[in-house]
Chains A and B, each alone.
Chain A
Amino acid sequence: MSAPRTRVDRADDVGRAVADVVTALAAAAGLDRGRAYRLRLAADEITTNTMTHGYRGAGGPVEITCGVEPDAAWVRITDAAPAFDPRGHVTRVDGPPREGGYGIHLVLTGVDEFGYEWAGGRNHYTLRVRRVRVEEGGTDGGSADRDTPRPDGARGH
């Protein structure tokens, strides 16, 4: 499954667009509820960050594509905002609650693999989650089957 390219230019529209893309992708890939939720959350955080900080609230092009592979489903987000690699902005969450930094943490810990590339004057973010088949011992138990990935740069490309 490879969905058509979705383009959004307004901050108010990007959250709904992400939700629609991931919902369709999750159905096509047979993602369990927990992975589908975390994939949507990660994509939402990336695009919202782009609209809020990258484009400073003025809006700008965000393109979303997705696909299914035998063992994974992926979402790729491309924008024309200034270069921003989230892996260099990891926030510690073991201290007192704070008002910023949670989004990047949710991106890097929520998906099974995160990739970032700056190419052609654009940010390219790739979010990938594994497809866990029930007949192979996986569950549909949302968070219950979760392997917690580490928010380190080694997982990206």
Chain B
Amino acid sequence: MAFDVTTHAEDGVLTVRLTGELDSRAAHRFNEVIGAVPGGTVNRLVLHLAELVYLSSAGLRCLVFAQQKLGRGTEIVLVGTRPEVAETITMTGFDRSVTMQDPVDS
């Protein structure tokens, strides 16, 4: 399933919707989006993951990169994460660094 990423920025909130498979082949596309964000302009990153069907360690590194790029003061919220993807995040302990929400909470 092809990877796609769309973004919307408003009032310090960057909303990113990920679709498909975020693996070593797709990671650069996510990193390009995050890398283009001007420093100090985002205080909340909301990642909509309901349509993200696969996340490898390369994708996890993208999330770590986003956290490092945007700074520790930026809250990262994962919305609608599928069970298998959520398990990958939990297995690596990265769930301790983000807030995971069901879609109805967003």
Contacts and interface: CB of A to CB of B under 8 A. Distances in A.
Interface in B44-79: 54, 56-58, 60-61, 63-65, 67-68
Interface in A61-114: 93-100, 102-103, 105-106, 109-110
Interface in B3-58: 23-25, 54, 56-58
Interface residues of B, number: 23
Contact of A109 (B54, B65, B91, B97): B91
Secondary structure class of chain A's binding surface, majority of residues: helix
Interface stretch (A1-9, A44-52, A131-139): A44-52
A15 B22 CA distance: 11
Secondary structure class of chain B's binding surface, majority of residues: helix
Interface in A27-55: 33-34, 37-38, 40-41, 44-45, 48, 52
Given A44-B56, A97-B94, A34 B84 contact: yes
B84 A37 contact: yes
Interface of A: 11-12, 15, 33-34, 37-38, 40-41, 44-45, 48, 52, 93-100, 102-103, 105-106, 109-110, 142-143, 146
Given A48-B56, A142-B83, A143-B83, 8 more contacts: A15-B25, A97-B67, A99-B64, A99-B65, A102-B60, A102-B61, A106-B91, A142-B84
Query: Which 5 pairs of residues, A with B, have the shortest CB-CB distance?
Result: A103-B57, A102-B57, A37-B84, A93-B93, A97-B64
